Chains A and B, each alone.
Chain A
Amino acid sequence: MKTHHFQISGMDCAACTLTLDATLEGEEGITRSETVYNKQRTTVSFDERKVSVKDIAKVITKAGYTVVSDTQE
């Protein structure tokens, strides 16, 4: 199990954190997503055998946000 932080941009509301988390947690291999609006950051815990960092970034982009950077915990 890995945890990764994604710095994102384009998030305009606190409700967006809920929908992004719901979208990410709906993906196979992602166990937990915690988005903090004020920090514009999403922390994702995932099973690296089922999903990659690149896949997660794609989901975030598809949801309408830009991944600025990502770091491993």
Chain B
Amino acid sequence: MDLPALFLTGLLTGGITCMAVQGGLLTATLARQSEEQLARATTQSGKVFPVLSFILAKLLIYTLLGLLLGWVGSFFRISLTLSIILQFAVVLFMFGTVMHLLKVHPIFRYFILQPPQFVLRFMKRYIKRHDVFAPFVVGLLTVFLPCGVTQSVMALAIASGDPVSGALMLFLFTLGTSPLFFLVGFFTLKAGEVFKKSFAKIAALSILLFALYNLNAALSLTGMVNTPARVLKNIYCVFAFCDDSIAFSQRTKPVTSSTIRIQKNGYSPNTFSVKAGSPVTLQLVNDGGNGCTQSFAIPRLGIQKVVPLGQTASIQFTAPEKPQELAFMCSMGMYSGTIHVI
């Protein structure tokens, strides 16, 4: 997942849609703070500290949450089947969230994570407190109240299967939501359902894009070569010259061994040819991949190999007897390539 895209998602849709969920908590907490401040005749600048402490608490807790979710996701990497199950579960969860945001049916509200009642009661009590740390504590507690877009990014963090990636994803997304939270908190703007209703569709669209991205990854993991993204790319390549188009790769000579460099954002080369029925040796050199690319898989042949950063590994297999295309990818299906059996 493109990390800057997550920041922009937070900035453009996350902040607005999360405002309806969490903005009310911020303003309610600040309202109590203001009563105290008025008593002490302080100015509006006095709001900077409570608003910033709320935002910092959110950044802190969601980064930790991302770390935890990425760590949980890493356990799904141990087998290809678990990775596939996880990816499809993530897609289902995202589609459910989209349906909820578009109000397709009340049943979809069960796709929205709900905190236990005792957490809600605790929050309710805390909001009423005049404590100077109240905004920080309420900011931390928002982790129990993620909005639709946030919970989709949480699902992405699990799917990343890597604690650092998960932490970065949620940090950048939450950072993206921060400017709006600051403005709303600082100027005590009326935040509420108006925001939510106006932007629910935009939020639904952004989650839908995440869902489609992950659906493609899930299908890719099953060994499908012609995934929707690949088909779209091929259609695009009919009209535009593509360096890595199938036609180009099919012209390349079949090899019996190849060195694949594992990088941060994929594999190089990500397409090559082998002869049908021939033995093939792949040398995997990880000189830059610290995310899901470390876990290399060829689903159709049941091959999966984890190559940690800075290490190398070798894979031997016999190419299928029939000419076909074999997809290889990271174990989360996010980065892929094709072996042309000719």
Contact = CB atoms under 8 A, between A and B. Distances in A.
A and B part of one assembly: yes
A21 interface: yes
Given A12-B196, A19-B192, A65-B193, A38 B28 contact: no
Contacts of B115: 14
Contacts of B112: 12-14
A59 to B, nearest CB: 12
B114 A16 contact: no
A72 B10 CA distance: 43
B193 A13 contact: no
Interface residues of A, number: 18
Contact of A64 (B101, B123, B193): B193
A15 B192 contact: no
Contacts of B128: 22
A4 B180 CA distance: 36
Contacts of A64: 192-194, 196-197
A34 to B, nearest CB: 9
Interface of A: 10, 12-19, 21-23, 26, 37-38, 63-65
Interface of B: 20-22, 24-25, 28, 31, 100-101, 109, 112, 114-115, 120, 123-124, 127-128, 142, 145, 147, 192-194, 196-197
29 contacts: A10-B193, A12-B20, A12-B112, A12-B196, A14-B112, A14-B145, A15-B21, A15-B24, A15-B147, A16-B20, A16-B21, A16-B24, A17-B120, A18-B25, A18-B28, A18-B123, A18-B124, A18-B127, A19-B24, A19-B192, A22-B24, A22-B28, A22-B124, A22-B127, A37-B114, A63-B192, A64-B192, A64-B193, A64-B197
